[in-house]
Chain A
Amino acid sequence: MVSNSSSEAELKKVTWELASYKIELHKTTGFLQCILQNATDLIFATDAEGLLISFSKGGEKVLGYSWEEVVGRPIKALAKDPESFEPVMVSCQEEGCALVLDVPFQHKDGKTVYCNASLMDLTNREGQRIGTVAICQDITRWKRLQEDLIQVDRLAEIGRIAAGVAHEINNPVAVIREASGWAAEVIGDAEGLSPDDRQELENVIKQIKAQTGRCRDITHKLLTFVRGSVPTKSEFDVHELLEETIGLLKPELKHSGIEIDLNFAEGPLSVNSNPKLLEQVFVNCLANAIHAVIEKGGDNGRIEIRTVNNNSEVEISVADNGVGIPKEDQGKIFDLFYTTKPPGKGTGLGLPICQNILRQLGGDIYFESEVGVGTTFTVRISVS
């Protein structure tokens, strides 16, 4: 029977084909499983109702849920805003092709996780919707970075405005200064003033001068802070610069009874940097240390300046045995305008300026402090 044997052959062929399909299917499933198990992205599939039927290992990492916890739950429940997730699913159905967009999900611990998701509708051969698959990449860090950049941009803008204001304020302040200077001379020459009135007027003039000086101090510091130009560099000896800086602060140190200990590394400490800017850093650190020691009172005030040569970089530390900085304030001291000094004594711009300068020159500044024991500020600068 010819037909019989041919149909038998047919059957064999089909069976064989089926077997190979099965192997193929097995391979594909294994392949897909492998992807689902190993991908770091969140990959999920839902049924037509939007209930989760598959959830990758990466998804467990990204959102913090295990597969058992989420299977059968609606996918929109994982979105940060379930209501706005609905239209996404709908437009995905209408689109007919992959839909790529940023979706905020919510981590098990409540944090927002931003994902770049590509969603695809799944249909069967009859064209019926049977569900959705999606591959979502966690872009939270990237998003944060972007926000930080915007923040930095905004800060730079505020800086520019502040600089503009400071510049403009300088002019009227200068006029007030000159006008009061002239008034002082007129008062000096005036006849018929009672000694009391003269004294009173002189005090007023002195006050105007002091206060315009204060304005000038603030505007200058503010303008230093926002100055954008790249600092020039030259070769110099840090030890020499430190000695000069201490010389500058002689008036503050006089009568304070503070002992200054120099603990310098062997020989000159040569660096290629900007001496003027570094001087500003040292002046501020030293002035802060002197203030802290005086505030503590007593007569064993001591400031130690130590330098360490680490070949590619040098460390300069200023250690005082002053009042110290309370733990709860330690996070604030680099903030613009943060100061605990009385009005007129501090602007709260010293440390932010130092930080800015070191950022520009390649280096950093950090500190350790204990209330009642003292504070050590350390400046690190690269040699070249």
Chain B
Amino acid sequence: MSDQQHIRVLLVDDEENLLEYLSKRLLKKGFAVKATFSGEQAVEVAQHEPYDVAVVDLKMPGIDGVETQKRLRQIQPFLQCIVLTGHGSVESALESGQQEAFEYLLKPVDYDKLLVAISEAYKRKVDLQTAKFREEVEKVQMAGMGPRGIRKAIRELEKIYGIE
């Protein structure tokens, strides 16, 4: 999977030892990885750096996984979040209407499953982003600007949606 090179993964878990090994393995696979050890830190990091997929532990001191996930998406609307949960909390998280996460995975998570989830989440992010980009481009074209204005507006959009 060569496109893994482009996938930027944000890891959020208070278990530092876990993130150490997990990030090493993901890095070796070719992902761009950033490890953060709390929801607050993750939110802070996301203010400055765009990511494709976040892997967030549900149970953390400070703001928990569900809240972290929500805030991350406020900053980066296309970011897809994979939430790692203990048993039983999957249902409770789903039932409380927090369905925005891309996927919930049971801890301790199976590494291969995580890899699959990350690439699927990435695909979803790209799809959503492209669709939205097209929509905006259409809007620009309908707006009746001159060719120059259109080109400029599209370049703007390309920047916003990170499309080269």
User: From residue 65 to 86 of chain B, which have CB atoms closer than 8 A to chain A?
Assistant: 86
Known contacts A174-B108, A175-B15, A216-B108; A229/B21 CB under 8 A:
no
Please classify the interface of chain A as helix (H, G, I), strand (E, B), loop, or mixed, using the class held by over half of its residues: helix
User: In the complex the two chains form, is A170's CB within 8 Å of B92's CB?
Assistant: no
Contacts of B63 in A (CB 8 A): none
CA distance A141 to B108 in the complex (A): 46
Say yes or no: is A167 at the interface (Cβ < 8 Å to chain B): yes
A206 to chain B, nearest CB (A): 14
A26 to chain B, nearest CB (A): 72
Which of B22-30, B127-135, B144-152, B156-164 lies at the interface with chain A? B22-30
Contacts of B3 in A (CB 8 A): none
CA distance A166 to B108 in the complex (A): 11
Q: How many residues of B are counted as interface, with CB atoms below 8 angstroms from the partner's CB atoms?
A: 19
User: In the complex the two chains form, is B17's CB within 8 Å of A229's CB?
Assistant: no
Contacts of B106 in A (CB 8 A): 220
Please classify the interface of chain B as helix (H, G, I), strand (E, B), loop, or mixed, using the class held by over half of its residues: helix
Contacts of A166 in B (CB 8 A): 87
B139 to chain A, nearest CB (A): 40
User: In the complex the two chains form, is A178's CB within 8 Å of B86's CB?
Assistant: no
- Interface flags, A141-174, vs B, CB<8A=1, else 0: 0000000000000000000000100110011011
Say yes or no: is A203 at the interface (Cβ < 8 Å to chain B): no
CA distance A219 to B88 in the complex (A): 11
Q: Chain A interface (Cβ within 8 Å of chain B)?
A: 163, 166-167, 170-171, 173-175, 177-179, 181-182, 185, 212, 216, 219-220, 223-224, 227, 229, 232
16 residue pairs from A and B, CB less than 8 Å apart: A171-B107, A174-B15, A174-B109, A175-B15, A177-B108, A178-B21, A178-B22, A178-B111, A181-B111, A182-B21, A185-B24, A212-B108, A224-B87, A224-B88, A229-B91, A232-B95
